[in-house]
Amino acid sequence: MALCFSSSSLHFFFLCFFLFLFLSFSSAFASGFNQSNHHPHRSAANHNYREALSKSILFFEGQRSGRLPPNQRLAWRRDSGLTDGADMHVDLVGGYYDAGDNVKFGFPMAFTASMLAWSVIEFGGMMKGELQHAREAVRWATDYLLKATDQPETIYVQVGDANKDHACWERPEDMDTPRTVLKIDSSNPGSDVAAETAAALAAASVVFRGCDPVYSRVLRKRAIQVFAFANKYRGPYSNGLKSFVCPFYCSYSGYQDELLWGAAWLHRATKNPAYLTYIQVNGQTLGADESDNTFGWDNKHVGARILLSKAFLVQNLKSLHDYKGHADNFICSLIPGTSFSQTQYTPGGLLFKMSDSNMQYVTSTSFLLLTYAKYLTFSSKVVSCGDVTVTPPKLRAIAKRQVDYLLGDNPLQMSYMVGYGPRYPQRIHHRGSSLPSVSEHPERIPCSAGFEALTSPAPNPNVLVGAVIGGPDAQDRFPDERSDYAQSEPATYINAPLVGALAYLAHSSGQL
C-alpha cells in the first residue's frame, strides 16, 4: 500500500521525527552519564579488540634480535646481535629477546613460538589482515630455532650471560656484554627445552602447511629429529646449565610435561600413529593427570591436556578419552564457588597465580578457555564440576572478563597493554624502550650510564606498542615503576597466547 503525505502533514511528520531523535539522544546521553558515574570500570563493549590484536602482534617486532627487515614497523629499534654464535662458529643471529633484557633464552622463546603458532592454528581464520603479521612473528622465532637445532643431537639454548647482562642497562644495539653461547647435547641433556623446541617446530609446521609447504616440511622434519633427541637423552637442562639459566628460566616442573606436550604436537603435525602410541604408553608416567593447574613457559601439563582432548572431542580418538576428564579438572579449578575451585582472584576479578609476571597466566588461561570452548562446542559437550555444569559460553565469558580486565576494565582503569587505551604503563622495565633510540641519540650509551634511565621517573621515550606487562598485585595495585620488574616487565610469552584470544574476541564481536 502506498503512503501519501500532504505538505502540511509532511512538515508535521518531520517535526515529530526530529523531536523523537532529540529525546532519544538526550535519554542515551543521560543514561551514559549515569552509567559512567555508577560504574567506574570501562564498559567492555567499548574495547577495540581488533586494535588490541594488531598491537599485541606488533609488540614482537620490538623484541627482535638480528638484522631487521625493510618492513620493520617499530622504527626506533635497529639491528643488534649480529655476531651471535660467532665464538662457537655457528650462526645464531636472529630470534627474540625474551623480555626487557638482551639475552636470548631458548626455553621461553620456544614456548612463545608454540603459543603463537597455536594461536594461528585455532584462530588464524579470524585474524583477517593480521594473519600475515602473526605468521611473520612465528617465523622470526622458528627461523632462529632451525639455526639452533642445525647440528644433530645438539641444541643451542641461550645466547648471552644473564648475570652480566643484568649488570648493565643498555640498548640491544649497544650491548657489549658477553654473548656466551650455551648448548645441550647427549652428554649434557635438556629434555625440557628440547621437547619444547620440537613442539614449537611441529606447531609452526601446521601454520605454514598451506601457505609455504616447503618451509612446513623443513619444520616438521626438524621437529621429529629434535623430539627423538629429547626423548633419548633425558634430563632437565637446568641441571648442567644451572649457573646460567637459574633463577631466570630454571626447569622447576621437570621435563616430563614437555615430552608429553611435544609428543602431542608431533601427533598433531605428522598424524603418525607412533606418537599416539607414545602418548598412550607414556602419558601417565609423564604426568597426564597431574593436579597442577598452571600453564606457562615452564609447566605444560594443562596445555597438553587441552590439546590432546581435541583428538578425543573433535577427531573422536576414543583412546584419548581420559584427557577430556583431565582438561575438565583444570576448568573446574577455575570456577569460583565450586568444591573444585583452586584459583585465587583479585578483588577486581583478575586471576592471580603469583606476584612475578602474573599476567602470563591470565593470557595463557584465557587462550585455553577459548580453545577448549571451541572443542566442546564442536562435539556438543559440557564440563561437569559436581553439581555445576559449565558450558562453552561460560568459558568464553570467563576468558573475556580476564582480557577485558587486562585492557582496562579494572579498579585502576589501567590498560596493561602499552599503547592501548587512554591510560597505560609509562615506565615499563625494558632497556630499549627506556633509553633514547639510536636515531635520537646515535652515540653509544655504555653499560653503567644507562642506569640513570632505570631510576628516572620520566616516561619511557620509546613506546613498546602492544607490550603486556606483569600486571597488578593481588590487591589490584600497580605502581608503574621501572625498577619493579615483577609487575612492569613485558615478555614474549605473555603476549603469545593473547594473540589467539584477541583474534577470537575481535571476530566474535564483529570487529574482524
Report the percent of the chain where pLDDT is more than 90: 88
The residue-averaged pLDDT of 419-430 equals 98
Question: Considering the domain 46-508 in this protein, what is its CATH number?
Answer: 1.50.10.10
Q: Is the pLDDT of residue 26 over 90?
A: no
β-pair partners for 344: 352
With contact defined as beta carbons under 8 Å apart, do 382 and 376 qualify?
A: yes
pLDDT per residue as tens digits for the range 117-151: 999 999 999 999 999 999 999 999 999 999 999 99
Whether 228 shows a pLDDT value over 90: the answer reads: yes
Asked if residue 416 lies in contact with residue 471, where contact means CB atoms within 8 angstroms, the answer is yes
What letter represents residue 427's amino acid?
R
pLDDT tens for 366-375 read 999 999 999 9
Residues taking part in catalysis: 429, 480, 489
CA 33 to chain centre: 36
SS3 58: helix
- Supply φ then ψ for residue 164, to 5 degrees: -75, -35
Confidence of residue 44 (pLDDT cuts 50, 70, 90): very low
| pLDDT tens, residue by residue, 161-207 | 999 999 999 999 999 999 999 999 999 999 999 999 999 999 999 99
Whole-structure pTM value: 0.91
| Cα separations in angstroms, 353 against 98, 239, 392 | 20, 26, 23
- Kindly tell me if the per-residue pLDDT of 10 is higher than 80: no
According to the model, what pLDDT value does residue 290 have?
Answer: 80
Centroid of chain to Cα 459: 25
pLDDT at 14 over 60: no
Range of weakest confidence among 66-80, 267-281, 283-297, 349-363: 283-297
**Confidence label for 16 from pLDDT (cuts 50, 70 and 90):** very low
Q: Residues 338-366: what's their mean pLDDT?
A: 95
Read off the pLDDT of each residue in 91-115 and give the average, rounded to a whole number.
98
Residues 6+ apart with CB under 8 A from 402: 350, 351, 362, 365, 366
> Any idea what DSSP says for residue 189?
-
Phi, psi of 156 (to 5 degrees): -85, 120
Q: Is the Cβ–Cβ distance between 414 and 424 less than 8 Å?
A: yes
Confidence of residue 493 (pLDDT cuts 50, 70, 90): very high
d(CA 502, CA 54): 9
pLDDT of 3 higher than 80: no
Percent of the chain scoring above 70 in pLDDT: 91
Q: Are 115 and 496 in contact (CB under 8 A)?
A: yes
438 grid coordinates: 639510536
CA distance 99 to 291: 29
Sign of the CA dihedral with 348 first, then 353, 359, and 364 last: negative
Task: Tell how far CA 420 is from the center of its chain.
Answer: 17
Cell of 449: 650510564
Helix (H, G, I), strand (E, B) or coil at 31: helix
116 burial type by CB count under 10 A (0-12 exposed, 13-18 middle, 19+ buried) = buried
C-alpha cell at 192: 625440557
Q: For 383-412, what is each residue's pLDDT tens digit?
A: 999 999 999 999 999 999 999 999 999 999
Mean pLDDT across 210-224: 98
| Mean pLDDT in residue range 437-463 | 96
C-alpha distances (whole Å) from 315 to each of 124, 173, 204, 378 are 20, 48, 20, 10
Residue 92: which pLDDT band, with cuts at 50, 70 and 90? very high
**Distance of alpha carbon 322 from alpha carbon 311, whole angstroms:** 11
**Alpha-carbon span 348 to 475, nearest angstrom:** 8
Averaged pLDDT for residues 209-215: 98
d(CA 507, CA 512): 5
One-letter amino acid identity for 322? D
Element (H, E) at 285: none
Question: 139: part of which helix (H) or strand (E)?
Answer: helix 131-148
pLDDT of residue 336: 86
Residue 23 has pLDDT above 60, yes or no: no
pLDDT tens, 66-83?
999 999 999 999 999 999
| DSSP letter, residue 66 | B
